[in-house]
Structures are given as structure tokens and as C-alpha cells.
Amino acid sequence: MRGVAVTLLALCLAGANGASLEPRLELVGLRAGGRIVGGVEATQEQGKHQCSLWASGWFGTQHICGCSLYGDSFAITAAHCTDGFTKDDLTVKYGGLNVNSLDKAVPVAEVRQHEKYNTPQFDNDYSVLKLSQPTVKVPGRVDTVQLADSEPANGAPCQLTGWGNTRGGDSGSSPALLQYQQF
């Protein structure tokens, strides 16, 4: 019996060693349809506020969602991206266009997920992340978003950046380079 337990443990550890975050990524993608369909590669000016939320665990560390830098030491992301993770699992990376080679990595000090976030309907689907250190702004390269102080007019242009899927229904179309779309 002891030999069976040791063999099972060895098989589990071997399987975990090669495991990835793919099941979690699929869940995040399926929940909100994370995609930038029809986008084009962003310029640094268009993406200077963009950051990447990375999660770590027994599976390693991977990009799971985009986020936006805000204020001196905050990032804003979707609640479905932080749901089930603790601050110790999360890191925000920023400063560049390639999600795999961003300049700065800052641990998350606190996750403020909206208390009325609702998984099935995605009501109140946002989280504010307090970063463990202030954002290092670099003119033309890294800056923060400015929240609107009034409601935009109907038909006002909207800009979107992200690393989401570029083709609807194709989970393999998530690019490494930041994408941009104007509506």
C-alpha cells in the first residue's frame, strides 16, 4: 500500500510539473470573452497606461488579464480576473508592448474586488489593485489613465487596448504584442 501511495504521489508531482495555467485562462476567457477582435498593433503612446496582471502558483507564473495603471500606485482590472486569487498570487507588469517582456514588475499589496461582483451575470466586474510601490512614469512610455469626470456624449470615440484574442472564437489568437482598437 505504501508503494502505491509513493507511486501515486510521484505521478501527481510529475503531472503538476508540466501543468500550466491554461484551464484557469480558459475560464477567465470564457467568462468575459476576452478579445480585441479587429484590433491592430498598438503604439507605445496608445498603450502607455496598459499593464498586465500575472498570477503565480504551483503551475508557474503567467499573464492572465490586462489592466490599466491609475493614480500613483493602483491598477484597475476586471473582477473575473482576480476572483479566486489572493494578493500574494498576483503581480502587475508594465512598461512596453510585448506582454512577455515588460520593463517593471510590482507585487500587488491589496486586492479590492467589488463586494457585489456577481459571477454569472458579471455585475460590478471590476477590481482595484493597490500596488506595493508607486508607478514609475516615463514620458511617452508609461503613464496612468485619467477617469472621466462626466458621462461621454453618445457616439463619442472610445479607445481600447489589450492582449485579448484577435479573432472571435479562436482562443489561440492571443498575441504577445499589445493590440489597439478605436470604436
Q: What is the extent of the structural domain holding 55?
A: 19-33+49-144
- Distance of alpha carbon 35 from alpha carbon 16, whole angstroms: 29
Q: Examine residue 64 and state whether it is found in any structural domain, yes or no.
A: yes
Query: Which helix (DSSP H) or strand (DSSP E) does residue 80 occupy?
Result: helix 79-82
Residue 135 belongs to a domain with what CATH number? 2.40.10.10
Q: How far apart are the first and last CA of the chain?
A: 63
Taking alpha carbons only, the member of 51, 36, 111 closest to residue 79 is: 111
- Distance of alpha carbon 81 from alpha carbon 79, whole angstroms: 5
Q: Examine residue 154 and state whether it is found in any structural domain, yes or no.
A: no
Q: Is the pLDDT of residue 122 over 90?
A: no
Q: Examine residue 110 and state whether it is found in any structural domain, yes or no.
A: yes
Read off the pLDDT of residues 45-84 as tens digits, 9 standing for 90 and up: 999 999 999 999 887 999 999 999 999 999 999 999 999 9
Strand partners, 118: 123
Q: Is the pLDDT of residue 16 over 50?
A: no
For the chain, how many structural domains are there in total?
Answer: 1
Q: Is the pLDDT of residue 24 over 50?
A: no
Q: Examine residue 179 and state whether it is found in any structural domain, yes or no.
A: no
- Distance of alpha carbon 144 from alpha carbon 156, whole angstroms: 21
- Residues 160, 150 contacting (CB under 8 angstroms): no
Instruction: Express as a percent the part of the chain with pLDDT over 90.
Output: 58
pLDDT of residue 180: 94
- Distance of alpha carbon 27 from alpha carbon 24, whole angstroms: 5
Beta pairing class for 159-162 and 179-182? antiparallel
Q: Which residue has the higher pLDDT, 53 or 117?
A: 53
C-alpha grid cell, residue 94: 508594465
Q: Which amino acid is at 175?
A: P
- Distance of alpha carbon 134 from alpha carbon 3, whole angstroms: 52
pLDDT of residue 35: 56
Q: Examine residue 4 and state whether it is found in any structural domain, yes or no.
A: no
The model's confidence at residue 36, banded by pLDDT at 50, 70 and 90, is low
- Residues 163, 66 contacting (CB under 8 angstroms): yes
Q: Examine residue 153 and state whether it is found in any structural domain, yes or no.
A: no
Q: Examine residue 85 and state whether it is found in any structural domain, yes or no.
A: yes
Backbone phi, psi, residue 93, to 5°: -115, 145
Q: Examine residue 9 and state whether it is found in any structural domain, yes or no.
A: no
